[in-house]
Structure 1
Amino acid sequence: MSTTVSTPDADETCAHCGSRIFDHDPICVRDCDDGCGSPTYFCNYACLSAHVEDNDLTAGDACEWSPEE
């Protein structure tokens, strides 16, 4: 499996708030559990965090860790 790295368009918008990503501190996210699909762009970590919360993307994931396991 390989992933192509490319720079998004200058007018690319945030998947959460719709702001232009390059007006802020952009983040690119890929779902690599599903064939590393198309990248999703966020203008900053706050929008990424809000997107994760709004879409309940942590449900069922391993959010706890114990050194005994």
Structure 2
Amino acid sequence: MTDDCTYCGSDVYEHDALFVAEQRGDEREPAGQFCNYACLSAHIDEENLVEGTCCRIDI
């Protein structure tokens, strides 16, 4: 994986970097890296990642 932001392509380490992982079985796998919350939010909106999504709550 490079140091490029998943959304804008800038070097994530020059900003307030965020790293996203997804659960796959018992493992967590990298799913993206972003310069800041603005890039993460824009990526979520443009990719329509909220539709049909819900949080899992273990009780």
Give the TM-score, by structure 1 length.
0.65
More contact order relative to length (CA 8 Å, sep ≥ 6): 2
Mapped partners of 1:39, 1:62: distance in 2: 17
- Mark the structure with the bigger radius of gyration: 1
Q: Which of 41, 47, 52 is the equivalent residue of 1:55?
A: 47
Taking the TM superposition and a 5 Å limit, the aligned residue runs for 1:13-32 are 13-32=4-23
Inter-partner Cα distance in structure 1 for 2:3 and 2:31: 11
Amino-acid identity (%)? 40
- Stretches of structure 2 that go unaligned for 5 or more consecutive residues are none
CA deviation digits over 1:17-67, x for unaligned, max 9? 0000011100000112x342224110000000000000000001248xxxx
Q: Which has the higher strand share?
A: 2
Give the number of equivalent residue pairs: 53
Tell me the C-alpha RMSD between the 2 structures.
Answer: 2.1
Q: Any unmatched runs of 5+ in structure 1? A: 1-7, 64-69
Provide runs of 4+ in structure 1 moved above 3 Å: none
- 2:34 is aligned to 42
